Amino acid sequence: MSNVFVLDHPLIQHKLTYIRRTKTGTKEFRELVDEVAGLMAFEITRDLPTEEIEIETPVTTAKAKILSGKKIGLVPILRAGLGMVDGILRLIPAAKVGHVGLYRDPETLMPVEYYIKLPSDIQERELIVIDPMLATGGSANDAIHSLKKRGATHIKLMCLIAAPEGVEVIQKEHPDVDIYLAALDEKLNEKGYIVPGLGDAGDRLFGTK
């Protein structure tokens, strides 16, 4: 089964509280999501492999570590996933970014894929799929299937908030995918919103509705 990691760093939790609040406006919401994404990226990349190289400092020669292994690819699910990209790119500026466009059919709550554009070498990359709200799990599940169909083998899923229902879907369908969350909430309501959640992440990020 895939592992679920709730990143309970105090800074992440503090900022998430303000993200959740109704009275947090678009500008502050966007800034906080960006900051939390950066903090989460720090934790998610904790297991990246390193190798030692020899360098010269002004004082001596020394062995020192640099990143090795697979390069990173970010795959935000449109549109709310976009809100977390820049925060991650500040830590991993060389990452390539693919996009998957999915919307939820309001009747069935099932994802419909309307856009996909990926780096050509995704099979050689460690991919981080970004879906801020893992609700039914339908969009993330669909996106991960799309990536695997195109040859991706190393995938992590990064979400701000998840419902247990969404986590269960990913664990069942993708036991190889580790899931990183800022919070695991209580449940989904009858409209498919995470409770207590933060409302519609896309609308709050982009000031729509």
Binding residues for uracil: 194, 199-201
The CA distance from 151 to 64, in Å, is: 33
Is 18 near ligand URA (CB under 6 A)? no
Residues flagged as binding site: 79, 104, 131-139, 194, 199-201
Is 201 near ligand URA (CB under 6 A)? yes
Q: Tell the smallest beta-carbon distance from residue 134 to ligand URA (Å).
A: 8
Name the catalytic one among 24, 45, 153, 203: 203
Q: Which of 46, 194, 206, 208 touches ligand URA (CB under 6 A)?
A: 194
Is 135 near ligand URA (CB under 6 A)? yes
Q: Are residues 92 and 72 in contact, defined by beta-carbon separation less than 8 angstroms?
A: yes
Name the catalytic one among 86, 108, 176, 208: 108
The CA distance from 144 to 130, in Å, is: 10
- Work out the burial of residue 93: count CB atoms within 10 Å of its CB; fewer than 13 is exposed, 13-18 middle, 19 or more buried: exposed
Q: Report the candidate in 194, 158, 197, 198 with the shortest Cα–Cα distance to residue 40.
A: 158
Is 98 near ligand URA (CB under 6 A)? no
Measured in whole angstroms, the distance separating CA 25 from the mean position of its chain's CA atoms is: 22
Neighbours of 53 (CB within 10 A): 11
What is the footprint of ligand URA within residues 29-58 (CB under 6 A)? Answer: none
- The answer to whether 21 is a known catalytic residue is no
Q: Tell the smallest beta-carbon distance from residue 106 to ligand URA (Å).
A: 12
Q: Report the candidate in 34, 48, 42 with the shortest Cα–Cα distance to residue 7.
A: 42
| Structure-token pair, residue 167 | 């986590």
Is 200 near ligand URA (CB under 6 A)? yes
The CA distance from 108 to 120, in Å, is: 33
Could you give the 3-state DSSP secondary structure of residue 135?
coil
- The answer to whether 108 is a known catalytic residue is yes
Q: Tell the smallest beta-carbon distance from residue 141 to ligand URA (Å).
A: 14
What is the footprint of ligand URA within residues 59-88 (CB under 6 A)? Answer: 80
What is the footprint of ligand URA within residues 152-191 (CB under 6 A)? Answer: none
Is 197 near ligand URA (CB under 6 A)? yes
Q: Which amino acid is at 110?
A: M
Neighbours of 83 (CB within 10 A): 24
List contacts with ligand URA (CB under 6 A).
Answer: 80, 133, 135, 192-194, 197, 200-202
> What positions carry a catalytic annotation?
104, 108, 200, 203
